[in-house]
């Protein structure tokens, strides 16, 4: 039986099928140094194919939401300057044709008909693409997209820490519940790709068997609450679910109890990290008694290879420190593509730190961090607030 990489929309795709489609795709790409592959589609399987292709054949994965308005899509494309765009969106093709860009229909084995779009001219990049693995976007207070390039070096450091959490078997099926332009979708795909396991694309209309096969859940706390209200949590097998990774939002103690109620055999982890720190830069495996502050579960310790600095720190009555969490280390990206002089960075003791905009409380005795609020109220582009973090010093 062939090893499955993807369950999506009632279908399944093997590693062999992904590889055949990737070879066909590679044969269509022109030679050159522009390795950036944008995927913009209403079909989720095209995003998974693009991820597999880029991570297997050393291209740069650049997912963009097809639901974004066209002006926003164009702004992102101008920032990325892609070598090719993979799409099945006819509305996009008409716009590109008017602007003297060309597209080519292509039939990819097992994945059907789509289009490859190329600019008629290849423009040089105004940023360094050496060693890049993927590009995502966040936004500041003014809503302007900021390109976040994540390198192979960042991913390697992240993967080393990811493997410390738990062992992923080839039989594992990782549930992906995130938008593709949200870096936590890369977490789900990377867990599968690194371990030759499978990933299941989960949405409301997904057939029951995709839920039942899952053994690892990656989701936001609010998503779990929403799934409970829609009576969807029971579609996951309480016996099969072995690990739950909460990401993207503060994890409440009530969320932990809800997860335990539905999945009593699962190990539960609270993970944190802004896009700029490569998916997550901290993780906390939860045990009783669960450490909390104001009902929010502790955000744990930083990944190995990362360091924290608390800016504008004050000492509380219990001798804990409170201030803005600033981070550096092997998972820190090297700077926004289109904001070269971002005020988010500063130098301290010969190292470059990133200001997260999050206030934390640090328990030095236990070496644990607790989320205590957002300082600048910066939001991410897709309405997911990155507001929980931690530190492990080495």
We report the CATH number of the domain holding residue 357 as: 3.40.50.12780
Instruction: Judge if 168 and 109 occupy the same domain.
Output: no
Number of structural domains the chain divides into: 2
Instruction: Judge if 338 and 249 occupy the same domain.
Output: yes
Inside any domain, residue 361 = yes
Burial 52-80 (b: 16+ CB within 10 A, else e): bbbbeeebbbbbbbbebeeebbebbbebb
> Which of 90, 110, 126 is where one domain is finished?
126
What's the whole-model pTM score?
A: 0.91
Inside any domain, residue 294 = yes
Output the pLDDT for position 387. 25
Q: Which two tokens stand for residue 351?
A: 């190292």
Output the pLDDT for position 320. 82
Output the pLDDT for position 282. 87
Instruction: Judge if 201 and 328 occupy the same domain.
Output: yes
Instruction: Judge if 367 and 227 occupy the same domain.
Output: yes
Q: Specify the pairing of strand 243-246 against strand 216-219.
A: parallel
Output the pLDDT for position 221. 95
Instruction: Judge if 98 and 182 occupy the same domain.
Output: no
Cβ neighbours of 247 (radius 10 Å): 27
Instruction: Judge if 103 and 181 occupy the same domain.
Output: no
Inside any domain, residue 288 = yes
Instruction: Judge if 122 and 168 occupy the same domain.
Output: no
308 vs 272: CA distance, rounded Å:
13
Instruction: Judge if 344 and 223 occupy the same domain.
Output: yes
Structural domain that includes position 296: 153-374
The CATH number of residue 58's host domain is: 3.40.50
Reference 185, options 39, 357, 355, 26; nearest CA is 39
Instruction: Judge if 205 and 316 occupy the same domain.
Output: yes
Reference 188, options 331, 7, 31; nearest CA is 7
Inside any domain, residue 143 = no
Instruction: Judge if 234 and 276 occupy the same domain.
Output: yes
Residuewise pLDDT in 10s, the chain (394 residues) = 689 999 998 899 999 999 999 999 999 987 778 999 999 998 899 999 999 999 999 999 999 998 888 889 999 999 999 999 999 887 777 777 766 667 888 999 999 999 998 877 778 888 889 999 999 998 755 678 999 999 999 999 999 999 989 999 999 999 999 999 899 999 999 999 999 999 999 987 777 778 889 999 999 999 999 999 999 999 999 999 999 999 889 999 999 999 999 999 999 999 988 999 999 998 899 988 998 988 889 988 899 999 999 999 888 777 888 899 999 999 999 999 998 888 899 999 999 999 999 888 888 888 888 888 888 654 333 333 322 233 333 3
Instruction: Judge if 247 and 337 occupy the same domain.
Output: yes
Output the pLDDT for position 294. 84
Q: Which two tokens stand for residue 56?
A: 């297997």
Reference 127, options 325, 348, 393, 334; nearest CA is 334
Inside any domain, residue 136 = no
Instruction: Judge if 281 and 328 occupy the same domain.
Output: yes
């Amino acid at each position: 039986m062939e090893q499955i990489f993807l369950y999506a929309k009632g279908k399944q795709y093997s590693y062999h099928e992904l590889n055949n489609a990737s070879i066909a795709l590679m044969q269509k790409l022109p030679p050159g140094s522009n390795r950036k592959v944008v995927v913009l589609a209403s079909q989720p399987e095209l995003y998974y194919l693009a991820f597999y292709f880029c991570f297997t054949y050393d291209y740069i994965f650049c997912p963009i939401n097809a639901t974004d308005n066209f002006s926003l899509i164009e702004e992102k494309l101008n920032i990325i300057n892609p070598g090719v765009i993979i799409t099945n969106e006819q509305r996009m093709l008409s716009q590109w044709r008017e602007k003297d860009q060309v597209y080519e229909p292509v039939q990819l084995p097992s994945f059907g008909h789509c289009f490859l779009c190329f600019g008629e001219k290849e423009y040089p990049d105004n940023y360094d693409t050496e060693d890049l693995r993927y590009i995502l976007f966040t936004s500041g207070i003014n809503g302007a997209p900021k390109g976040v390039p994540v390198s192979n070096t960042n991913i390697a450091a992240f993967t080393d820490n990811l493997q410390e959490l738990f062992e992923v078997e080839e039989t594992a099926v990782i549930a992906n519940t995130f938008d593709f332009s949200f870096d936590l979708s890369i977490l789900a795909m990377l867990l599968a790709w690194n371990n030759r396991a499978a990933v299941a694309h989960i949405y409301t209309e997904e057939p029951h068997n995709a839920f039942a096969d899952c053994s690892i859940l990656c989701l936001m706390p609010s998503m779990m609450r929403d799934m409970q209200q829609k009576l969807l949590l029971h579609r996951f097998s309480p016996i099969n679910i072995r690990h739950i990774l909460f990401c993207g939002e503060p994890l409440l103690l009530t969320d932990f109890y809800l997860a335990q109620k539905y999945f009593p055999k699962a190990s539960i982890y609270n993970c944190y990290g802004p896009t700029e720190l490569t998916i997550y830069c901290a993780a906390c495996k939860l045990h009783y008694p669960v450490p909390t502050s104001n009902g929010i579960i502790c955000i744990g310790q930083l990944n190995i290879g990362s360091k924290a600095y608390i800016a504008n720190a004050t000492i509380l009555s219990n001798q804990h420190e409170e201030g803005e969490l600033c981070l550096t280390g092997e998972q820190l990206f090297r700077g926004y593509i289109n904001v070269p002089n971002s005020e988010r960075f500063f130098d301290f003791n010969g190292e470059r730190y990133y200001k997260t905009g999050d206030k934390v409380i640090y328990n030095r005795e236990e070496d644990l961090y607790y989320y205590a609020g957002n300082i600048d109220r910066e939001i991410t582009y897709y309405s997911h607030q990155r507001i929980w973090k931690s530190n492990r010093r080495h």
